[in-house]
Amino acid sequence: MRILVVDDEQGIRELIRDILEPRGHKVTCASGGTEALALLARQPVDMMYLDIRMPNGDGLSVLKRLQVEHPNLPVIMITGCAQHEIVDETLDLGAFACLVKPFCVGDVLGMLDVIRAAA
């Protein structure tokens, strides 16, 4: 699968890439929402991991635009805040699921499997 990972933290981006690439996925990374939207315009992806809190284009705004421009793109939101209202808000905005930090390798892969099964 072609996967776009968007997070302002380089460590998180590389971690997810290192989890997914050994399993045959093609991973592209972006450090902010603006960069992610520009990348998406150039090359389409099958799914996306998107951080909520970022300095350059926050995740929720990007998610709203994605719902208009790429309504069929499955998006898994990444958040450091486990509050129900934030999780609920992302799901209401059309996110496929929400990955709450600290997550484990199994969580990342498990969600991917669900998306693949649904596709």
Partner 1 sequence: MDESTRKKIGRFVDQRDAQLWLLALVVMFLLTMALLFVDVVNMKEPWWVSPELKLALNTRTMRVALVLSILLICAYFRDSARRLRRENHELIDDLEERGRLLEKKNCEITRLKDLSDQLIGVTDLHLALDLVLDMAVQVIGADTASIMLKSKGEDDLHIAASRGIPKKVINSTRVKIGESIAGLVAQNGQAVLLNSDELVGEMAKRTLRKHAIVSSVIVPIHINEDVRGVISIAKRRGSDCFTEEDLGVLSTLASQTSLVIQKTELLDNLRDQIEKLAFTVEELRQAQVTLVEAEKLASIGRLAGGVSHEINNPLQVILGRVELMLQSETDPAKLRQLQSVMEHTTRISEIVTNLLSFSRRSSGAPFKQVEIGAVLDRTLSLLEPQLTSDGVLIESEIDDRDMPVLANASDLQQVFTNIILNAHQAMHGRPESKITVRIRNEAGSAAVEIADNGPGIPQESLAHLFEPFFTTKSEGEGTGLGLSIAYGIVEAHGGRISARNNSEGGACFSITLPIDRALGRAA
- β-partners of residue 51 are 78
Closer residue to partner 1 in complex, CB, 49/66: 49
User: For the sheet containing 97-100, what is the strand order?
Assistant: 26-30, 2-6, 47-51, 75-79, 97-100
CB of 44 to partner 1, least distance (A): 27
Name which of 40 and 111 has its Cβ closer to partner 1.
111
Nearer to partner 1, 18 or 113 (CB): 18
Give min distance, CB of 42 to partner 1, in A.
28
What residue ranges bind partner 1 (CB under 8 A)? 9, 11-12, 14-16, 18-19, 80-87, 101-105
Long-range contacts of 11-15 (CB under 8 A, 24+ apart): 12/51, 12/78
